[in-house]
Amino acid sequence: MASDLRQTVFETGNNAMVNHLLLSSATALMLASCAHTPPKPSPLLGTWTATSQNAAGSSFHFRPDGSATWNLGQPFEIRYLINDSSAPTRLDLSGFQTGPLKGRTLYCLIELANDTLRMDCEPTAHPASFNPGQTQVFTRQSGGA
């Protein structure tokens, strides 16, 4: 009887140990699968120079940290947020410190094809579609994702 009791305790102890190891392994695998993966780099990274007449003389420089410089004769340091889960892609420009957009957001639609950026922006909401008269075109000069 004592032998049977020892055998039951021994088997139960092993089952508990096996269960503990299985639970620990499952937890480790779950945590590894949930590990933070870095976001993909923005396709906007780099310097873009205007090629359309309605944006002549302007340029953008987009950095990986979400900041950008918009040069319109003078540089404006701004923030950008890209949403490429929508079609067309949406881009929000914010953080303006001076001028008519100070404290506001500029809502844009963008289209990227190779090293060409098409952009149409409005100060109140994202445009529903690209307006040919307002759409500005830029070419990538450096950088890139």
How many domains in the chain? Answer: 2
- Domain with 19, as residue range(s), is 1-37
**Contact criterion met (CB below 8 Å) for 38 and 56:** no
Look at residue 142 in the predicted model and tell me its pLDDT.
Answer: 82
Q: Are residues 30 and 52 in the same domain?
A: no
**Contact criterion met (CB below 8 Å) for 108 and 88:** no
pLDDT tens-digit profile of 104-126? 999 999 999 989 999 999 999 99
Highest-confidence segment of 4-13, 31-40, 47-56:
47-56
Look at residue 36 and give its three-state secondary structure: coil
Q: Are residues 114 and 136 in the same domain?
A: yes
Q: Are residues 27 and 56 in the same domain?
A: no
